[in-house]
């Protein structure tokens, strides 16, 4: 650990538990054992740019060992023999342990990814706890149905819901623990076993989570964590014949590649991919409140959020007022290291991501977008970018059409409802959309016409484990969360019995 990282942790009083974890030699978790790998990689702390620790870079052989462990538990191990209420009890126990260690997990998430520790505690860690508790309740409520056939003869006909098998999980770097919980909660509740590949940039919370899995008494091999590069471990996961279902969250180009490889073996598949979510602000909205909500929605976690509202279309009559309110409010958002309790604008996850965002800002200026606010890197050793607002953008600009994944908002005025709808739907993506209006008739008429998996009204990024999350178009296929997620983790078996 670099001295500047040590000084950073000391300055903000990181807990002894977090320091003990970070001081460990990090290992993968396979079949209940902690394994090293032949290779490892540095973990860079985003607020300082210093070396934090090292994690193993797993191989295809490591992935194979993990799949074999998961396969053995699913096909005939202790996990396959558990009754639904026993699975439910274990998942509640796991949620209790996460809650007991919530402050430590929030610190780990902040240090590893750079995000605000306060936001991590309220959103990431609490969301993880809620997700496991929600799906724990589903473990005892999976059932089929009986049918009265109409064909001649005397039959007993019914359906069974059966777990799909071994689930491969590929987790993104922006919400490492919470997104993993989205995928594991439902999979474990229905009786699947899992192999997880965390993002190579942010693997630490998954490894700490594995310790809690062991402490909760979940049988060895049910949950396996293989850290490493996507090109190695992720690729092997996509093509491994022992994996029955693949759940991926990440960029659209990588998701397309993963999906093609998985479909070659007819694996079950869900893909939660990129977004460029539109926001429509009508003149009847509370403009000050809308501007603040839009700023929170796009600058939360420095815009490193898949459904961030990055395209704002505002009625021309209130466009100037909206931009001023937006800029005034954005100026109050503190840019600071993630462990600062008052941090709102945190660093980018990596130097590479910082450069990517800055290049997009230069592209926007070159395309003729008006730089209204921000648009510069922040002096210092961390990977910070000022929150940035572009005005008077055209929909054919790259900054409007492409996912930037940073604190960049593009805006444009509109004159009528049909123009606003056309601008909003003019995108390859369809993850989310938001409407700001107090006219409920207008809102309800527009919701069915927006091509997006989620529509927020007078809010943004409101999530709950009981509500499904997933997109239209190139934002992916399938759903995480909600009872709808269970359909992607269960096979339906039809049973016919001829009666005398």
Spatial neighbors of 419 by CB under 8 A, at least 6 apart, are none
- The H-or-E segment that residue 39 falls in is strand 39-44
User: Is 192 an annotated catalytic residue?
Assistant: no
342's tokens: 């008052």
Angle at 22 between CA 17 and CA 27, to 5 degrees: 115
- The H-or-E segment that residue 67 falls in is helix 60-76
Residue 150 to residues 145, 157, 233, 258, 367: CA-CA distances in angstroms? 16, 11, 50, 43, 65
User: Is 99 an annotated catalytic residue?
Assistant: no
Contact 389, 325 (CB under 8 A): no
- The H-or-E segment that residue 320 falls in is helix 319-330
283's tokens: 């003149």
Residue 221 to residues 14, 62, 70, 210, 386: CA-CA distances in angstroms? 32, 13, 5, 11, 44
Strand partners, 386: none
Residue 340 to residues 33, 48, 252, 298, 347: CA-CA distances in angstroms? 36, 13, 33, 20, 12
3-state secondary structure of 105: helix
Q: Which candidate, 402, 366, 372, places its Cα nearest to that of 388?
A: 372
Contact 463, 296 (CB under 8 A): no
Catalytic: which of 45, 88, 200, 272? 272
Contact 430, 453 (CB under 8 A): yes
DSSP 469: B
Q: Roughly what angle, to the nearest 10 degrees, separates helices 126-138 and 102-113? A: 120
- Expressed in angstroms, the distance from the first to the final Cα of the chain is 74
> Can you tell me the distance from the alpha carbon of 351 to that of 359, in angstroms, rounded to the nearest whole number?
12
CA dihedral 224, 227, 233, 239 (to 10 degrees): 20
> Can you tell me the distance from the alpha carbon of 306 to that of 404, in angstroms, rounded to the nearest whole number?
10
DSSP output for 111-175: HHH---HHHIIIIIIHHHHHHHHHHHHHTT-----EE---SSS-EEEEEEEEE--EEEEE--SSS
Angle at 19 between CA 13 and CA 23, to 5 degrees: 150
DSSP 388: E
DSSP 438: S
Catalytic residues: 272, 306
């Amino acid at each position: 650990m670099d001295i500047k990282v040590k000084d950073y942790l000391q300055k903000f009083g990181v807990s002894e538990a977090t320091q003990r974890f970070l001081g460990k030699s990090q290992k993968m978790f396979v079949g209940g054992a902690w394994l090293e790998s032949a290779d490892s990689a540095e973990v860079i702390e985003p607020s300082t740019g210093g070396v934090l620790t090292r994690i193993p870079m797993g191989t295809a052989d490591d992935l194979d060992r993990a799949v074999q462990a998961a396969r053995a538990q699913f096909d005939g191990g202790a996990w396959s023999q558990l009754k639904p209420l026993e699975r439910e009890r274990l998942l509640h126990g796991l949620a209790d342990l996460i809650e007991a260690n919530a402050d430590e997990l929030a610190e780990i998430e902040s240090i590893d990814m750079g995000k605000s520790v306060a936001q991590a505690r309220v959103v990431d860690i609490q969301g993880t706890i809620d997700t496991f508790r929600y799906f724990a309740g589903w473990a005892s409520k999976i059932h089929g149905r009986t049918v009265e056939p109409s064909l001649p003869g005397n039959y007993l006909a019914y359906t069974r819901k059966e777990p799909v098998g071994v689930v491969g999980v590929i987790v993104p770097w922006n919400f490492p623990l919470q997104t993993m919980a989205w995928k594991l909660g439902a999979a474990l509740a229905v009786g699947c076993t899992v192999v997880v590949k965390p993002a190579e940039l942010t693997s630490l919370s998954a490894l700490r989570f594995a310790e809690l899995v062991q402490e909760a008494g979940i049988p060895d091999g049910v949950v396996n964590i293989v850290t490493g590069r996507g090109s190695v471990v992720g690729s092997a996961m996509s093509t491994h014949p022992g994996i029955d279902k693949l759940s991926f969250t990440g960029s659209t180009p990588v998701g397309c590649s993963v999906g093609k490889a998985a479909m070659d073996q007819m694996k079950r598949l869900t893909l939660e991919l990129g977004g460029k979510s539109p926001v429509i602000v009508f003149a009847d909205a509370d403009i000050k409140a809308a501007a603040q909500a839009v700023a929170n929605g796009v600058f939360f976690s420095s815009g490193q959020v898949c459904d961030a509202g990055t395209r704002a279309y505002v009625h021309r009559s209130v466009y100037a007022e909206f931009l001023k309110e937006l800029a005034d409010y954005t100026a109050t958002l503190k840019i600071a290291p993630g462990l600062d309790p008052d941090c709102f604008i945190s660093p980018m996850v990596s130097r590479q991501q910082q450069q990517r965002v800055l290049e997009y800002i230069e592209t926007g200026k070159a395309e003729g977008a008006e730089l209204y606010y921000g648009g510069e890197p922040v002096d210092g050793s961390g990977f910070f970018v000022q929150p940035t607002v572009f005005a008077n953008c055209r929909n054919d600009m790259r900054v409007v059409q492409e996912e930037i994944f940073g604190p960049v908002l593009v805006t444009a005025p509109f004159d009528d409802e049909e123009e606003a709808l056309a601008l909003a739907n003019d995108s390859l993506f369809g993850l989310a959309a938001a409407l700001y209006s107090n006219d409920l008739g207008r809102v309800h008429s527009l919701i069915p016409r927006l091509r997006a998996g989620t529509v927020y009204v007078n809010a943004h990024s409101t999530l709950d484990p009981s509500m499904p999350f997933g997109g239209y178009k190139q934002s992916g296929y399938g759903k995480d969360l909600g009872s709808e997620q269970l359909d992607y983790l269960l096979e339906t078996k039809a049973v016919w019995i001829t009666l005398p």
